[in-house]
Structure 1
Amino acid sequence: MSSDPHHGTGASEQLRLGALIGVLGVVYGDIGTSPLYALQTCLSYFTHGRLTNADVLGMLSLITWALIITVTLKYVTLIMRADNNGEGGTLSLMALASRVSRSDRTRTVLGLIGIVGAGLFFGDGVITPAISILSAVEGIQVVSPETSHLVLPIALFVILFLFLVQRHGTGKVGRAFGPVMVLWFLTLGSLGFVQILHHPFVLEALSPSFGIEFLINHDTMAFVTLGAVVLAVTGAEALYADMSHFGKKPIRVSWLFFVLPCLILNYYGQGALVISDPSAADNPFYKLAPHVLQVPMIMLATLATVIASQAVITGAFSVSRMCVQLGLLPRMEVRHTSAMEAGQIYVPQINTILAIGVVMLVLTFGSSAALASAYGIAVTGTFLCDNALAAFVYRRQFGWMRWAVIAVFGAIGIADFAFFAANSMKIFEGGWVPLAIGLSIILVMTTWRRGRGLIMARWVQDSLPLSSFLARLPQSRIVRVPGTAVFMTGNLDFVPNALLHNLKHNKVLHEQVFFVTVRNMDVPYADPADRVKAEEAAPGIYKVTLYYGFMESPNVPQALESLSAQGIDFKAMQASYFLGRETVVPASVPKLRFIRRWLFLFMARNAISATEFFRIPSDRVVELGVRIAV
């Protein structure tokens, strides 16, 4: 990521070699490891001598056109154009769509679509490391079948090691990602190219007619196979989500002229091998390599899957911080692991949850083939969410005609829905896993947003308007004492409860009083020049608003130091911060149902303190308790 988030995109547009290599390591790890299991899963539905050459060509054709339609047309060509100040991802697209919506009802619907997409993303984040690392380690069964009992222990060791090193940051490891993935894609392309030279007729599958014929001839089985075809495009959303790291041009150029050709060559090489030797269908990826190269391939594949998993984990950290800033999740600890790159963060709670989830999946399913049934729903659900949001943006922001939006995004939506429907048939085989994870995250997000809305409404109802307080202040007998007091508040129009409690118990008011609120914008990064807005509400009393984008972590003391540039004498070293520590309790007439009330109270009690979240020095904080019933 660029060290300057505001100019990273522009720098990357110069198309430097470093950016192209970096794209391979961060953006294409997930989709780049799909050849390990995608075609193998498709072939598994046609065993016991039922597999014909036409079937193999049909599967290759479906994979080819899935890559062209879903990745090249939808994400690389269309959705990447709809960036939110250079930032991508489902939540960024949701924020962009909400900005151009014209009614509260529409914004609510768009918000729900964004929440569903974010929930499914976390489901994908749990499954990707499990299936990727398992599929790589399973290569040892090809080299030495008697060592199959070692697959699970080795996979679990790699997974645990991957999550344990997260706390140290990915900066040093990240520099090695690109070159490893360059080697990986070159190896994929080379192995496939050699096999194609022996059976060049396999290239006939580039014609969509073979895919159409396959769908017509096999009816239900073809529909089931579509659920496996989608495995070839898992990670497509990463092209859009990681756009801010490198810019559009390096991602597009890398895909069109390197990644896509290498993937096509490898899939077609696997297909050519299976046509010449049907027994290779059980693991065509590893059998594509000569025996002498199979052990190095296992090692390289394991490295590649670790990189793919790392990209997903890092993405989960970024999305979780984004959700906190957008008010969809409670405050969580965010550690910055790099002084130079704003995107290098570590979220301990998310890391622990992902690690537990991945380990449980590996132990429960035991193989990549079993996990393949669980993989597709989360991915295809995200595709549908992105498609709906993008269609809205193209209609409202880009001014496309209604018929054009329906024609383009309707056609893409039909393909996405076909993939989603095909994977829905696997719900009882494992598809319930990402669905359960996604629905759980959606429940958490909607509960937290609803609960915080109730608390804010109750707080406004019970609070004293600031204008009334300031009007009575000159006639009051409140003693002003030397010093600077900062009161954090969610609404500058009302007096913070912490100030009222301080007056009640200490009966004094500082000479300098700052009412400070933090506003999260629907852009990734706020302009540093417009970070702080301040106005003097009364002599020595100021109302201050701090603006942060959803990709930023607030630092209140640092932001307040810039008040001197506006002619306000803020004595940072003398400032005391007053915060109201909320204790949420059940109301006599609860407005949340039992399960949601219990969940909200649990999250509220376990959220990190405002002191830590806003990076306020703990030795300058005065916390005053406030009980709020919901």
Structure 2
Amino acid sequence: MAISSNTPRHQNGSHGHGQVGLAGLIVGAIGVVFGDIGTSPLYTLKEAFSPHYGLVANHDTVLGILSLMFWSLMLVVTLKYVTIILRADNEGEGGIMALMALSQRILPRQSKSLYVVGILGIFGASMFFGDSVIMPAMTVLSAIEGLEVVAPQLGNWVIPITIAVLIALFATQRFGTEKVGRAFGPIICIWFLALAVIGVLNILHEPEVTQALNPWYAIRFFIDHSWGGIFILGAVVLTVTGGEALYADMGHFGAKPIRYAWYFLVLPALMLNYLGQGALILEDPTAIRNPFYLGVPQWGRVPMIVLATAAAVIASQAVITGAYSVARQAMQLGYIPRLATKHTSEETIGQIYIPWINWVLMIAVIALVLVFRESTALASAYGVTVSGTMLIDTLLLALVAQAMWPSWRWWVLPLCVLFFIIDLAFLIANGVKFFDGAWFPVALGVVVFTLLRTWRRGRQLLREEIQKEGIKIDSFLPGLMLAPPARVPGTAIFLTADKGVVPHALMHNLKHNKVLHERNVFLTVETLSVPYAPKEKRLSIDAIGDEFYRVVVRAGFMETPDVPLALMRSCDAGGIHFDPMETTYFASRETVVAIAHRGMPVWRDKLFAVMHRNAAPATGFFRIPGNRLVELGAQVEI
């Protein structure tokens, strides 16, 4: 007997938007998706003229940098992400983990390409966590530094106020972002309108700055500065930071609202403000010390500081929420241990809070502020992780275009070559800043990558060791029923990762309790490579005789499995009835022992043992009630 549950499919076809109209989605996308890239004017042009690059703020240099910024936005964000890569959706979801899963689905199993794609995807996700640390520190600090323009005597208060804002930001995460999120869109809309108005006011003083839209000025900049001109891309890349977020947040709003918001508000507002800052520098070269705030009329600087701080907090909120989403995807795909996850909304599945991720991020962000102390210093660290992630996105996009877009590949693949050259140039320019601070996100990314790969490989070794000692169900059950033990009323559910092997928990139960329940279920939870499991695949039940059943609960990598709920719904589909009060769950709790010359290097074995010991138990992650659970221990050497 094989049945499927009638669990309604997650409404991802509409991205869970319900009756929300296109205009509402556009406003919501503006508030959540564009916060990172929308706060770049706070620091980008100031960083380009920092002493690090040794540039003089003359006419041709200013227009050359502005031209580079404009065409970076057009090629990297508008063409690559908004126009092309938003089409590469994995069941409506985006982001590097979703793109990795999509790429792996189209590759042959056991191929080397599959392994390489997995490595690239995990490394890109690791770089994202580095960005999640730098971005809040950089953005909030840049906003608060406006105090030094308004009242230089308040300069000593910049760091304390920044830390206070960051602590408040992370401390409120546990309440969820649903209520606060309603205000995000209007505030960021006001922010972009303010950027545009200030930009226009400054452009009117030096209208010739609009000539920077001509690509010749970008080309001439490289001619004038020879190969050394490529290093300015280390500052120009700050213009496009947040571009990957457009793709990562596609599942929340859909591609169309993101495109409309970018074309009709975000891109024009950003470029008007950048051009306005350039016009101010042409008029007064000393304004390079802070062209953003100095371009604001004196009467409006204090309100602008308040608005910029709000925009910075919102932008940071989007990155933090993105870190939760990436962590959950990594959990579901088996790359990090299960962590305690709280759902902060009864209506929106994506509203989650992961305490461990939250507090680690907070400590790292505050430490970053205390070490670097200035946004200019932080800018040296910012960009390398973003450019690395964008480069990986380009490689995975080329793979998807080749395999899945036969009618588009003739023009997408040549553009991927162009994107690769641009991304590589950005990466090289940021790599030069390695010892000036870029080492931090790289080191953090390597640490995260090591943890992810160690957990994945350790889980594989642990499963192999369990399988070595395992007994096949098909051969075990006939022998058991020849001389069956005493049977007691109720249902016993044994959790197992291997559908074909007798669970350790059953063996221990027979050995110590010498009883067998009236009905016995071997339960396996599987994570699919799609964001949301189709309803016909969510649950399957196979009878294997003598009141033994094999049950498989499936979930997408964007979902958190709820085993009791899935089993309760099985009777609605005409399956067997599970009475919660007569059901007992049995699970094995392995203790990992690291052994030299086996599996991974011993230091990684020990690292995995520590991670395994501190991981949240699968029973809690699958929402199995503690008062119906029996855990039986086992020691496994790897």
Q: Please name the residue that 1:239 is paired with.
A: 246
Tell me whether 1:177 sits opposite 2:184 in the alignment: yes
* Residues 181-235 of structure 1: CA deviation (Å, up to 9, x unaligned): 0000000000001111221111000011001100111135422211000001000
Tell me whether 1:211 sits opposite 2:218 in the alignment: yes
Aligned amino acid, residue 54 of structure 1 = D
Tell me whether 1:303 sits opposite 2:310 in the alignment: yes
1:94 to 81, 88, 100: 100
- Cα deviation for residue 46 of structure 1 reads 8.2
What secondary structure is seen at the aligned counterpart in 1 of 2:553? strand
CA contact (8 A) 1:8 1:245 kept: no
Tell me whether 1:54 sits opposite 2:52 in the alignment: no
Cα pair distance change 1:497/1:49, threshold 3 Å: closer
Gaps of 5+ in 2: 1-8
**How far apart in 2 are the matches of 1:589 and 1:503?**
34
What secondary structure is seen at the aligned counterpart in 2 of 1:519? strand
**How far apart in 1 are the matches of 2:268 and 2:476?**
68
- Cα deviation for residue 404 of structure 1 reads 4.5
* Residues 63-102 of structure 1: CA deviation (Å, up to 9, x unaligned): 0000000000000011100000000000100000111112
Q: How does 1:109-508 map to 2 (within 5 A)?
A: 109-399=116-406, 404=411, 406-508=413-515
Please provide the CA RMSD for this pair.
Answer: 1.6
Cα pair distance change 1:536/1:76, threshold 3 Å: same
Q: Please name the residue that 1:6 is paired with.
A: 12
- Cα deviation for residue 465 of structure 1 reads 0.3
Cα pair distance change 1:401/1:199, threshold 3 Å: closer
- Cα deviation for residue 529 of structure 1 reads 4.0
CA contact (8 A) 1:12 1:250 kept: no
CA contact (8 A) 1:13 1:248 kept: no
- Cα deviation for residue 572 of structure 1 reads 2.2
Q: Please name the residue that 2:35 is paired with.
A: 29
1:578 to 586, 604, 609: 586
Cα pair distance change 1:435/1:153, threshold 3 Å: same
Cα pair distance change 1:47/1:538, threshold 3 Å: closer
CA contact (8 A) 2:401 2:409 kept: no
CA contact (8 A) 1:140 1:147 kept: yes
Tell me whether 1:601 sits opposite 2:609 in the alignment: yes
Alignment coverage as a number of residue pairs: 628
Q: Please name the residue that 1:628 is paired with.
A: 636
What secondary structure is seen at the aligned counterpart in 1 of 2:465? helix
Segment of structure 1 superposing worse, 299-308 or 580-589 = 580-589
What secondary structure is seen at the aligned counterpart in 1 of 2:310? helix
CA contact (8 A) 1:532 1:562 kept: no
2:599 to 569, 576, 591: 591
Aligned amino acid, residue 626 of structure 2 = S
**How far apart in 2 are the matches of 1:624 and 1:48?**
66
Aligned amino acid, residue 302 of structure 1 = T
- Cα deviation for residue 406 of structure 1 reads 4.2
- Cα deviation for residue 10 of structure 1 reads 8.2
Segment of structure 1 superposing worse, 607-616 or 401-410 = 401-410
CA contact (8 A) 1:8 1:244 kept: no
Segment of structure 1 superposing worse, 192-201 or 582-591 = 582-591
Cα pair distance change 1:153/1:220, threshold 3 Å: farther
Cα pair distance change 1:54/1:243, threshold 3 Å: same
**How far apart in 2 are the matches of 1:397 and 1:410?**
18
- Cα deviation for residue 570 of structure 1 reads 1.9
- Cα deviation for residue 402 of structure 1 reads 7.0
What secondary structure is seen at the aligned counterpart in 2 of 1:474? helix
Cα pair distance change 1:52/1:588, threshold 3 Å: closer
* Residues 585-606 of structure 1: CA deviation (Å, up to 9, x unaligned): 1236432213212211111111
CA contact (8 A) 1:13 1:249 kept: no
What secondary structure is seen at the aligned counterpart in 2 of 1:327? coil
CA contact (8 A) 1:91 1:118 kept: yes
CA contact (8 A) 1:10 1:247 kept: no
Cα pair distance change 1:624/1:10, threshold 3 Å: closer
Q: Please name the residue that 2:4 is paired with.
A: none
**How far apart in 1 are the matches of 2:424 and 2:627?**
55
CA contact (8 A) 1:25 1:181 kept: yes
Work out the percentage of aligned pairs sharing the same amino acid: 49
Segment of structure 1 superposing worse, 565-574 or 298-307 = 565-574
Aligned amino acid, residue 475 of structure 1 = L
**How far apart in 1 are the matches of 2:54 and 2:343?**
54
**How far apart in 2 are the matches of 1:61 and 1:55?**
10
What secondary structure is seen at the aligned counterpart in 1 of 2:524? strand
**How far apart in 1 are the matches of 2:364 and 2:56?**
37
Cα pair distance change 1:380/1:588, threshold 3 Å: closer
The two structures have a TM-score, normalised by structure 2, of: 0.96
- Cα deviation for residue 236 of structure 1 reads 0.2
Tell me whether 1:613 sits opposite 2:621 in the alignment: yes
2:69 to 51, 63, 70: 63
CA contact (8 A) 2:10 2:16 kept: no
**How far apart in 1 are the matches of 2:79 and 2:553?**
40
- Cα deviation for residue 563 of structure 1 reads 1.7
Q: Please name the residue that 2:48 is paired with.
A: 42
* Residues 534-577 of structure 1: CA deviation (Å, up to 9, x unaligned): 11011211100011000111111111112212331222221000
* Residues 360-398 of structure 1: CA deviation (Å, up to 9, x unaligned): 100000010000010110000000110000100000111
The two structures have a TM-score, normalised by structure 1, of: 0.97
